């Protein structure tokens, strides 16, 4: 997979939000942190809405799109409040004005447009990871394009907004820098590689702690994970997965049953997503 940076473009095209070095770093490492990108009032709105949806207070949202923590589902634990039992909420942006406002926030969309070098953008899917204190389970190492396997080219970009401060103790995202350049790892190699990450010195994990309101961006082929939340602090993060509007959906490949893509900016193209 040819994920190289077009140096001439970075030098010559005015960027919308990022600096040329940010774009270079993203294409070198497969991930990038932009501190304080989302304004505090927008993050506060997002956090309140996440909790209201998790408590089932928002009418018209499908309860199937709420997934509880495994230990709660198994009846092993309960939490002090319903929103503290939820692992994730997903595919909500097209149905909820607050979440839709966030995925359309110009600061975030500008940054994605800079990274993908296009203003023709759609949203593939979105997920609110609630990672509650004490019981929030780990997210094992993975590549998003294994799940988003029907979308080509495989260069979606996830913008992950920290609602709370994300630290190693409460399970911030971690990345294997440069792993987007390995391409999609097939089933045979997947488990073997997953087991080596973090133990093999050649496959070191880089933590991406974030202050509330900061956003990390990762490429859909970048290996990433998060540890269990062993702290008393919440670690909510909202992941919005963007794709090029001229990407194609391979009909023969089974992807997740996501809702129709949201046009975020620019043009749409016949025969494309």
Contact call for residues 222 and 170 (beta carbons, < 8 A): no
Write phi, then psi, for 71 (nearest 5 degrees): -70, -25
Spatial CA neighbour of 173 closest among 142, 135, 213? 142
- Measured CA to CA, the distance from residue 53 to residue 216 in angstroms comes to 23
| Residue from 161, 237, 258, 273 binding ligand AKG (CB under 6 A) | 237
Spatial CA neighbour of 203 closest among 192, 219, 216, 215? 192
| Residue from 27, 91, 124, 129 binding ligand AKG (CB under 6 A) | 129
CB nearer to ligand AKG: pick between 128 and 203 = 128
Please state the closest distance from residue 207 (CB atom) to ligand AKG, in A. 12
Query: Residues with Cβ < 8 Å from 31, sequence gap 6 or more?
Result: 175, 177, 208, 216, 217, 218, 219, 222, 224
Using the rule CB under 6 A, is 91 a contact of ligand AKG? no
The binding track of 31-60 with respect to ligand AKG, each residue x by CB under 6 A or -, is: ------------------------------
Please state the closest distance from residue 122 (CB atom) to ligand AKG, in A. 17
| Nearest 10 degrees: Cα torsion 120, 240, 94, 57 | -160
Quote helix, strand, coil % in the chain, to nearest 5.
Answer: 30, 25, 45
Residues 99-128 contacting ligand AKG, CB under 6 A: none
Residues 199-228 contacting ligand AKG, CB under 6 A: 224, 226
Please state the closest distance from residue 86 (CB atom) to ligand AKG, in A. 13
CB nearer to ligand AKG: pick between 159 and 264 = 159
Query: Residues with Cβ < 8 Å from 240, sequence gap 6 or more?
Result: 93, 102, 103, 108, 123, 126, 158, 159, 160, 161
Paired tokens of 190: 């997947």
CB nearer to ligand AKG: pick between 138 and 250 = 138
| Residue from 3, 66, 151, 239 binding ligand AKG (CB under 6 A) | 239
Paired tokens of 213: 């309101």
The binding track of 141-170 with respect to ligand AKG, each residue x by CB under 6 A or -, is: ---x-------------x-x----------
Contact call for residues 258 and 91 (beta carbons, < 8 A): yes
Please state the closest distance from residue 130 (CB atom) to ligand AKG, in A. 9
Q: Tell me how many residues contact ligand AKG (CB under 6 A).
A: 10
Using the rule CB under 6 A, is 139 a contact of ligand AKG? yes
Please state the closest distance from residue 192 (CB atom) to ligand AKG, in A. 20
CB nearer to ligand AKG: pick between 13 and 70 = 70
CB nearer to ligand AKG: pick between 208 and 261 = 208
* 41, 185, 239 from 55: Cα distances, Å: 21, 37, 19
Chain contacts with ligand AKG (rule: CB under 6 A): 129, 131, 139, 144, 158, 160, 224, 226, 237, 239
């Amino acid at each position: 997979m040819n994920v190289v940076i077009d140096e001439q473009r970075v030098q010559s095209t005015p960027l919308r939000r990022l600096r040329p070095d940010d774009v270079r770093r993203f294409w070198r490492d497969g991930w990038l942190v932009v501190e304080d990108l989302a304004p505090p009032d927008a993050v506060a709105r997002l956090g309140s809405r996440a909790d209201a949806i998790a408590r089932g207070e928002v009418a018209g949202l499908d309860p199937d799109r709420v997934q509880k923590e495994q230990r709660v589902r198994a009846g092993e634990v309960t939490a002090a409040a319903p929103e503290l039992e939820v692992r994730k909420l997903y595919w909500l942006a097209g149905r909820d004005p607050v979440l839709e406002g966030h995925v359309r926030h110009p600061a975030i969309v500008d940054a994605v447009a800079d990274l993908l070098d296009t203003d023709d953008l759609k949203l593939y899917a979105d997920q609110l990871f609630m990672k509650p204190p004490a019981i929030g389970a780990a997210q094992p190492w993975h590549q998003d394009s294994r799940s988003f396997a029907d979308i080509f080219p495989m260069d979606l970009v996830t913008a992950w907004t920290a609602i709370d401060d994300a630290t190693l103790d409460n399970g911030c995202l971690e990345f294997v820098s440069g792993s987007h350049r390995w391409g999609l790892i097939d089933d045979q190699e997947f488990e073997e590689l997953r087991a080596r990450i973090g133990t093999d010195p050649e496959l070191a994990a880089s933590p991406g702690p974030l202050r509330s309101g900061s956003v990390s961006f990762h490429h859909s082929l970048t290996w990433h994970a998060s540890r269990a939340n062993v702290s008393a602090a919440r670690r909510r993060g909202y992941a919005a997965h963007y794709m090029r509007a001229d990407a194609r959906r391979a009909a023969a490949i089974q992807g997740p049953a996501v809702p129709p893509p949201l046009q975020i900016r620019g043009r749409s193209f016949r025969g494309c997503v």
